[in-house]
């Protein structure tokens, strides 16, 4: 692009601010931020005055490079030169500071927007809310949600769900329930999504009884929870060794015509193995294969550990054949292996050694948390 500008000069066609902005935009779009900065210095050296767009492009490029503090100085430079920043410039900086969890800086800019009588956009609010939730500033994030509504903007349902999960995580269950009801009352999300979000939040903070109550209420009112919600609740039940209840949920899923996926099967298989219900776990393994679902590394690691721990060597070797047939064992020349795959290979080799008459040592079965 420098050659284009040189050619323009040779032909006595002199680029103006708009021309430079077009070239700078091209560089920023391709991630060549240093080149866009070179063009800025070139235009200033030639006495061409930058405008709002020029500075916004510089602010975007610097923010993308992580040089947010320098980007702020360009915002200040705009004001000193009498160029009024627009919403987009503030959006860029507030988003950058929020992503870095520098909420003090983000809030300063956010308040500056309001002082300048600028109405923050949905994008600005979104960045602020996400950053505040990450910093556990729940009151401020909730206030930002209310401001959005007062300003005629519709909050994203993900904002509420993130706030519900965060409140559950730190034990503020009452606050999470109030948010759930607020979501439903405002129509931000469908009722089933609001209830599903609280169930997942409650399960994550091990409030299983409360989660079951909400779940039962959903079913009574005719709402069908998502597969992810069923799986989260099954996970919680397995962690509490309530395997029969978890299996009942699987049957309930199927009666609701929901497809039990690999993650759901892994949760149940691992729960069964941890509770020494090995035959039932193998039955589920066979069932998922018969339904055309492909077991993944988590499935095989869990089952292999269980076979080794209970010295079911013949079944263990059959699992080994299944894994080899699927090509899930990396070659011995692989530079790095996932930890779980290493565990599987180690256990499988132990099984082979045992079949050769070598002694067996007890091995711990992977916990349910390993399921993904």
More confident: 265 or 117:
265
Which pLDDT belongs to residue 36? 82
In order, the DSSP letters of 317-348 are: HHHHHHHHHHT-SPPTT-S---HHHHHHHHHH
Residue 78 confidence class, pLDDT cut points 50, 70, 90? confident
Judged against a pLDDT cut of 70, whether residue 349 lies above it is answered with no
What average pLDDT does this structure show over 330-338? 47
Residue 275 lies in a domain: no
Residue 357 confidence class, pLDDT cut points 50, 70, 90? low
Judged against a pLDDT cut of 70, whether residue 223 lies above it is answered with yes
Residue 222 lies in a domain: no
Residue 28 lies in a domain: yes
Tens of pLDDT, residue by residue over 264-303, are: 999 999 999 999 899 999 999 999 999 999 888 788 888 8
Read off the pTM. Answer: 0.63
Residue 309 confidence class, pLDDT cut points 50, 70, 90? confident
Residue 231 confidence class, pLDDT cut points 50, 70, 90? very high
More confident: 290 or 321:
290
Which pLDDT belongs to residue 248? 94
Domain hosting 316: range is 283-372
Residue 83 confidence class, pLDDT cut points 50, 70, 90? confident
> How many whole angstroms separate alpha carbon 19 and alpha carbon 341?
56
Residue 290 lies in a domain: yes
Q: Are 142 and 163 in contact (CB under 8 A)?
A: yes
Of 85, 111, 128, the position where a domain reaches its end is 85
Which pLDDT belongs to residue 364? 41
Of 54, 85, 116, the position where a domain reaches its end is 85
What average pLDDT does this structure show over 306-319? 76
Tens of pLDDT, residue by residue over 45-71, are: 888 888 888 888 888 888 888 888 888
> How many whole angstroms separate alpha carbon 273 and alpha carbon 366?
9
Residue 253 confidence class, pLDDT cut points 50, 70, 90? very high
> How many whole angstroms separate alpha carbon 182 and alpha carbon 19?
50
132-141, 188-197, 275-284 — which is least confidently predicted?
188-197
What average pLDDT does this structure show over 319-339? 62
Residue 78 lies in a domain: yes
Among 85-94, 175-184, 347-356, the range with the most confident prediction by mean pLDDT is: 85-94
Which pLDDT belongs to residue 340? 58
Residue 369 lies in a domain: yes
Which pLDDT belongs to residue 244? 94
Which pLDDT belongs to residue 17? 84
Residue 85 confidence class, pLDDT cut points 50, 70, 90? confident
Judged against a pLDDT cut of 90, whether residue 190 lies above it is answered with no
Which pLDDT belongs to residue 334? 44
Q: Which residue in 293, 300, 290, 248 sits closest to 270, CA to CA?
A: 300
Residue 207 lies in a domain: no
Which pLDDT belongs to residue 333? 43
What average pLDDT does this structure show over 183-191? 72
Average pLDDT, the chain: 79
What average pLDDT does this structure show over 109-125? 84
> How many whole angstroms separate alpha carbon 68 and alpha carbon 100?
10
| Number of separate domains in the chain | 2
Residue 101 lies in a domain: no
Judged against a pLDDT cut of 50, whether residue 370 lies above it is answered with no
Three-class secondary structure assignment of 346-357:
HHHHHHHHHHCC
Q: Are 98 and 127 in contact (CB under 8 A)?
A: yes
Count the Cβ atoms, other than its own, within 10 Å of residue 70. 13
The CATH code of the domain that includes 51 is 1.25.40.10
Which pLDDT belongs to residue 234? 94
Which pLDDT belongs to residue 179? 79
Which pLDDT belongs to residue 271? 94
Token readout for 190 is 């469908």
Of 85, 117, 143, the position where a domain reaches its end is 85
């Amino acid at each position: 692009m420098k050659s284009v500008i040189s050619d323009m000069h040779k032909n006595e066609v002199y680029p103006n601010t708009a021309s430079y902005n077009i070239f700078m935009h091209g560089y920023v779009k391709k991630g060549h931020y240093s080149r866009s900065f070179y063009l800025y210095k070139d235009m200033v050296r030639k006495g061409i005055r930058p405008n709002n767009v020029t500075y916004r492009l510089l602010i975007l490029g610097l923010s993308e490079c992580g040089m947010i503090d320098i980007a702020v100085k360009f915002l200040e430079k705009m004001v000193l030169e009498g160029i009024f920043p627009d919403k987009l410039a503030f959006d860029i900086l507030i988003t950058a500071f929020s992503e870095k969890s520098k909420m003090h800086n983000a809030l300063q800019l956010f308040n500056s927007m309001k002082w300048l009588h600028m109405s923050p956009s949905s994008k600005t609010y979104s960045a602020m809310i996400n950053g505040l939730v990450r910093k556990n500033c729940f009151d401020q994030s909730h206030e930002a949600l209310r401001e959005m509504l007062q300003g005629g903007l519709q909050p994203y349902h993900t904002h509420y769900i993130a706030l519900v999960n965060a409140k559950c995580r730190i034990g503020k269950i009452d606050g999470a329930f109030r948010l759930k009801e607020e979501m439903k009352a405002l129509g931000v999300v469908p009722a089933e999504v609001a209830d599903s979000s609280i169930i997942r939040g409650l399960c994550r903070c091990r409030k299983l009884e409360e989660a079951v109550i909400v779940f039962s209420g959903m079913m009574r009112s005719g709402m069908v929870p998502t597969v992810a919600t069923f799986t989260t609740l099954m996970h919680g039940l397995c962690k509490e060794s309530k395997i029969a209840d978890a299996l009942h949920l699987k049957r309930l899923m199927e009666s609701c015509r929901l497809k039990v996926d690999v993650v759901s099967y892994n949760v149940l298989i691992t729960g069964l193995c941890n509770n020494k219900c090995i035959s039932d776990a193998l039955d589920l393994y066979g069932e998922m294969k018969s339904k055309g679902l492909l077991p993944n590394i988590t499935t095989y690691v869990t089952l292999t550990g269980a076979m080794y721990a209970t010295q079911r060597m013949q079944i263990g070797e059959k699992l080994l054949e299944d894994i080899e047939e699927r090509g899930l064992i990396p070659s011995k020349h692989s530079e790095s292996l996932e930890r779980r795959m290493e565990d599987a290979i180690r256990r499988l080799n132990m099984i082979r050694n045992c079949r050769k008459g070598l002694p067996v040592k007890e091995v711990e079965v992977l916990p349910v948390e390993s399921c993904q």
